[in-house]
A = this chain, B = another copy of it.
């Protein structure tokens, strides 16, 4: 039975996230964008608001509120500060991955600390130079020792790499071809041999850090192995599929923020004696934003719902991500157009949205990768004749 209403709980999480966004994130957002750095206070406050474990069971310190709640919360926080939000997305996903694949020790040791903020945030160490969207080409190795494992290699594009307290690291544990032979490890941030790189200078998301991480003779115990040896690829896939819902929700929030700014501007400002909102060009821009972001919202919530119902959602997550990130980018462009000269000023507000949203078409799988996933699936689906 079709029903688009959020549940009580979903609405409650959304409200909590909205209050947090307005009271904590919004006031700090411009400064964070200017100064860069890592949003320690924001994230601590997010943890106490429960937003580091929205879809984590309460027994493990999360809200146990499900995937739709998670998506709604991320969209709210992203409207105020996209940079803090990306760190939140990754932390939530790290928690989910450990809760899902971890053994009881791992679950009870790490997940509550992620939710409480004790570990600051979590991070994924998957990408490598030349193996951005091709895990088969992975070079990082983990070799068995009598004391456990020693990890050698270099990872790239690690969100929160400067400060994360827990890293989920993928490394080859055998020479099996393709993705077989990849295993997953849980590596605390203070492990010797885990060397954090300098943060990248980026176009936007200046309040989040993106670094390389080098592993030089990084020794971990046998308990560091997450899931079975050689079964690391499914872990990565779950992290990425779920991550797409998070990024779609984030980009939606950015697009909505830009649209709201443009809408207020259009209603409040006049040009040549009449309100901008009377100009059809402005009306069109707002109408197209509203239409496309509305569609994006539904695609995103649909993917979240399917994941929550524990049915296959990979294709729907890809569709949600490619559509939402690209339409949100277009929406930020139209918002700039509505503001005119002020659209490209920091003072106008929307130029930060434009810079922040642009990366969402790239990380967690570029738009091109999403299109490959989608078209592959279409081939299957229609061959079954529906």
Contact = CB atoms under 8 A, between A and B. Distances in A.
Nearest to A280: B280
A281 interface: yes
A279 B279 CA distance: 10
A279 B281 CA distance: 10
Interface residues of A, number: 4
Interface in A307-336: none
Interface string A275-301: 000011100100000000000000000
Contacts of A281: 280, 284
A280 B274 CA distance: 15
Nearest to A281: B280
Nearest to A284: B281
A284 B280 CA distance: 10
A326 B28 CA distance: 46
A284 B284 CA distance: 11
Contacts of A280: 279-281, 284
A281 B279 CA distance: 10
A54 B290 CA distance: 52
Interface in A18-51: none
A7 to B, nearest CB: 40
Contacts of A284: 280-281, 284
Nearest to A282: B280
5 contacts: A280-B280, A280-B281, A280-B284, A281-B284, A284-B284
